[in-house]
Amino acid sequence: MRSVMSERNNKLALLGGQPAVTGEQKELFHWPIITKRHEEAVLEVLRSGSMSALGVTTEFEEKYAKNLGRKYGLASPNGTASILSGLYGLGVGVGDEVIAPSYTYWASVMQIYNLGATPVFADIDPESLSMDPSDIEHRITPRTKALVVVHLGGYPADMDAIMDIAKRHRIKVLEDCSHAHGALYKGREVGTFGEAAAFSLMSVKSFAIGEGGMLFTDDRRIYERAIMFGHYRKHGKIKLEELKKYIGVPLGGAKNRLNQMSSAIGLVHLEMYPEWMAGIDKAMNYFCDELEGTPGIRPIRPPKGSGSTKGGWYFPLFKYLPEEMEGLSLTRFSDAVKAEGTTCNPGAYSPLHLHPAFTELDIYGHGKPTRIAHYRGDDPDLLLKQTLPVTENMNPFVFEVPWFKHFQKKEIDQHILAYRKVVENHQELLADDDKEKDKEIGSFSSAFSKDDL
């Protein structure tokens, strides 16, 4: 490791030294990017008074689907709605089981309840943090209808193995690509593997249009069922006989029309995103390359030369290796790194399967926990007590790093220095280390900001 001693004041900021990161660095993190073209596109919608119409949104759906190489795109006001209507599209219903990760944002999973189905959780791979293919097959029963796969923190899940399992067992796959816009798995874009794929497009995501979600599929039946669920104004598109007689009311009681101002932003984004993404990718890979080999920390990214990439790098994560830091807790490490002026948020997600909404709560008044309200398997109690060793123990070993939006070497170098400085001086942090604090790491949301409160 290159010594930082000579580079600047080496006293840790947490212990009274100068922070490694100076200046505001606003542009490095400014997001989403809104250009004159975005403003004009939104103004056009505003001036036409057509915020609730469909034309701009239809154009956005068609162009996005074409870019991704899928037949159908269906926009909704958020990714949560896209996942719900996507699951309905796949035919998920009462008594079905859906295998999903627990180490994710709740919106990958909660909707399974709305359809009367049961979430069955699978563990994650400790290197990628996405679903572990070797923990899926033994959870499959004759009632398993679908798999929700999340490309967590932009890291593409192992889609060859997952699709192979799904095909052999005739299970449908919904990819949750909310963290992974533009990410590649072995050279192929995520969102093109599963029978359906959903993306969140809200403001903090890498493809950010304000609020919005997209569902993609090549299957006409999935598309039409998703339309029937929450897009009554699109019922004119329905061709399937089995659905035609229900035209007129949304079967999910949902109204999922996307505001056209967001669609207008999305249309401009489609043209600009590849260039933005390349800038993010260059910046993040530079940051990771420079820190690769630094004791105690390791970038989480697909191996070079694998053809897999992290796209827009939403929610970039590193591994923490306390055994290389004399057992220093992640909490203490991250406090010290943050004091240097950069991002270092300990943990990723709190395990959903341990949340009372999944272990005990009767949300809809079934007289038993919603998790098992419609469960048809032999041992509902076993399901409520599910354990997932990797998921449950992951948080003290993973942290979020800064998400650079541009390759600005000079500024990024300061963030690299911040990390190196703390690693080099970690012994000074051992004295006041309270390891118990690592037990509190975790959150059910990665996307809270002060504005939410």
Ligand X SMILES: Cc1ncc(COP(=O)(O)O)c(C=O)c1O
**Which residues of the chain form contacts with ligand X (CB under 6 A)?**
78-80, 104-105, 107-108, 150, 176, 178-179, 200, 202, 213, 447
Query: Closer CB to ligand X, residue 86 or residue 346?
Result: 86
The residue to which tokens 């999944």 are assigned = 358
CA distance 399 to 278: 23
CB-based contact 209:262 (threshold 8 Å): yes
Query: Closer CB to ligand X, residue 20 or residue 190?
Result: 190
Helices and strands in the chain: count of H runs, count of E runs? 14, 13
Q: How far is the CB of 381 from ligand X (least distance, A)?
A: 29
Query: Closer CB to ligand X, residue 118 or residue 206?
Result: 206
Query: Closer CB to ligand X, residue 25 or residue 200?
Result: 200
DSSP letters along 38-69, please?
HHHHHHHHHHHT-TT-SHHHHHHHHHHHHHHT
Report how far apart, in Å, the C-alpha atoms of 422 and of each of 38, 345, 425 are: 41, 15, 5
Give 300's contacts (C-beta < 8 A, 6+ positions apart).
127, 128, 129, 153, 155, 316, 317, 318, 319, 398
Q: How far is the CB of 11 from ligand X (least distance, A)?
A: 38
Strand partners, 73: 216
Query: Closer CB to ligand X, residue 165 or residue 447?
Result: 447
Q: How far is the CB of 446 from ligand X (least distance, A)?
A: 6
Q: How far is the CB of 35 from ligand X (least distance, A)?
A: 22
Query: Closer CB to ligand X, residue 76 or residue 331?
Result: 76
Q: Read off the DSSP letter of residue 131.
A: B
Query: Closer CB to ligand X, residue 13 or residue 215?
Result: 215
Q: How far is the CB of 147 from ligand X (least distance, A)?
A: 15
Residue facing ligand X at closest CB distance: 79
Listed residue (269, 281, 62, 106) closest to 184, CA to CA: 281
The angle formed by the CA atoms of residues 69, 110 and 264, to the nearest 5 degrees, is 40
The residue to which tokens 């469960």 are assigned = 375
Q: How far is the CB of 395 from ligand X (least distance, A)?
A: 16
Q: How far is the CB of 362 from ligand X (least distance, A)?
A: 24
CA distance 139 to 120: 8
CB-based contact 283:310 (threshold 8 Å): no
Q: Which amino acid is at 320?
A: Y
Query: Closer CB to ligand X, residue 122 or residue 150?
Result: 150
Q: How far is the CB of 423 from ligand X (least distance, A)?
A: 29
